[in-house]
């Protein structure tokens, strides 16, 4: 009789504590598996009156105790311990985070108490985040450029496989070490300045020489942004592109251009380049002597602004043939000089694509 009163008192107290929760709470006998208490949310989810029914039947739709029953983690030598675990309820298609503990119950015995939080939405977010991270990892690992991160104290945190392919170094040889060890001594000051600007919140674009394992220096084009965690800048995240080959091409092109320019200027014949509108882009010294003007006065002007009308018309006509047909032409052009004498020009014009 006293035990029944005590049970009623416990149940009243449990209902007062747990009926207002949006989480599931139940108490079950570890020997009979009968449900001794269930809060409103539990009864709403699993169908009304559940007291006295087997927990494995009500919750899991099983005919016998579950193979994954957690009683062994909270009874016997584990009395007093809390067991936290996650479970996917196939019956409802929901994920729950469960907290199990043995509690004392009237009749001088221990029973199973479980509080279960619905974490389905959290699981969906975790899955989406994991998929996003997987795709991000694939992109980073497949990227042809070096993708790196540096801590606020200047030490390398991460490097993608492109680093090994481009520099010959193993990533492990540099993770945790100062990034300045990879930079050409003459570029370290510039690299540190760029790093400090990035830490201050300013994205940077800088060109630096990087030491390969062979001892050679590669030219890298670095684009960096602040590495932010929890709203705070904690380092630098960047992409480095190997532009060594491009730089060599550019240097060679500059040398070739300089050589061609010197050659064009030394040629005694008249040489010029025009755009499709007929404006002069490049002229040599012989052209200057012909028209009696400096290059600065010729560049950007059309023939009709420089030559007598008859010669300008001849030039324009042959120009149009070259532009229209896309082939070289050889024509004879003439003009009358200031003394009334005709001056003839054997002109070769070619299209530039």
Residue 1, pLDDT > 60, answer no
Q: Are 329 and 305 in contact (CB under 8 A)?
A: no
Residue 8's pLDDT is what? 84
Residue 4, pLDDT > 80, answer no
pLDDT tens digits, residue range 307-352? 888 888 888 999 999 999 999 999 988 776 666 677 788 989 999 8
Residue 235, pLDDT > 90, answer yes
C-alpha 106: how far from its chain's center?
60
Contacts of 166 (CB under 8 A, 6+ apart): 146, 212, 218, 242
Give the integer Cα–Cα distance in Å for 253 and 260.
10
Q: Are 221 and 213 in contact (CB under 8 A)?
A: no
Distance separating the N- and C-terminal Cα atoms of the chain: 106
Tokens in use for 111?
């029973």
Q: Does residue 253 or residue 174 have the better pLDDT?
A: 174
Helix or strand (DSSP H, E) at 325: helix 309-325
- The model carries a pTM of 0.57
Helix or strand (DSSP H, E) at 286: helix 285-291
Residue 81, pLDDT > 90, answer yes
Which domains are assigned to the chain? 2-122 (3.30.450.20), 143-246 (3.30.450.20), 268-349 (3.30.450.20)
Across the chain, mean pLDDT equals 91
Residue 116, pLDDT > 90, answer yes
């Amino acid at each position: 009789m006293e035990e029944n009163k005590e049970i009623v008192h416990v149940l009243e107290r449990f209902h007062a504590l747990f009926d207002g929760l949006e989480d599931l709470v139940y108490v079950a006998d570890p020997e009979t598996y009968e449900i001794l208490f269930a809060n409103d949310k539990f009864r709403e989810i699993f169908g009304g009156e559940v007291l006295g029914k087997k927990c494995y039947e009500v919750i899991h739709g099983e005919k016998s105790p579950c193979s994954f029953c957690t009683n062994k983690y909270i009874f016997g030598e584990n009395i007093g311990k809390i067991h936290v675990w996650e479970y996917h309820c196939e019956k409802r298609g929901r994920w729950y985070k469960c907290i199990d503990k043995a509690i004392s119950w009237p009749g001088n015995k221990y029973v199973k108490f479980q509080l279960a939080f619905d974490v389905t939405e959290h699981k969906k977010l975790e899955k989406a985040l994991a998929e996003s991270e997987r795709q991000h990892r694939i992109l980073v690992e497949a990227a042809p450029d070096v993708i790196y991160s540096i801590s606020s104290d200047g030490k390398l945190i991460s490097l993608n496989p492109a680093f090994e392919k481009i520099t010959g170094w193993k990533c492990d040889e540099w993770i945790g070490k100062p990034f300045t060890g990879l930079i050409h001594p003459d570029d370290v000051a510039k690299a540190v300045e760029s790093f400090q600007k990035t830490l201050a919140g300013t994205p940077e674009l800088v060109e630096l020489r990087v030491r390969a394992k062979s001892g050679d220096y590669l030219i890298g084009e670095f684009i960096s942004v602040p590495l932010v965690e929890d709203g705070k800048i904690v380092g630098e995240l960047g992409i480095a592109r190997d532009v060594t080959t491009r730089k060599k091409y550019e240097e060679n092109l500059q040398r070739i251009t300089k050589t061609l320019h010197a050659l064009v200027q030394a040629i005694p014949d008249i040489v010029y380049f025009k755009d499709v509108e007929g404006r002069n882009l490049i002229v040599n010294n012989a052209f200057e002597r012909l028209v009696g003007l400096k290059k600065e006065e010729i560049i950007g002007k059309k023939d009709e602004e420089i030559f007598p009308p008859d010669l300008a018309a001849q030039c324009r006509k042959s120009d149009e043939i070259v532009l229209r047909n896309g082939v070289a032409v050889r024509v004879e052009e003439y003009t009358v000089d200031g003394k009334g004498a005709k001056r003839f020009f054997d002109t070769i014009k070619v299209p530039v694509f």
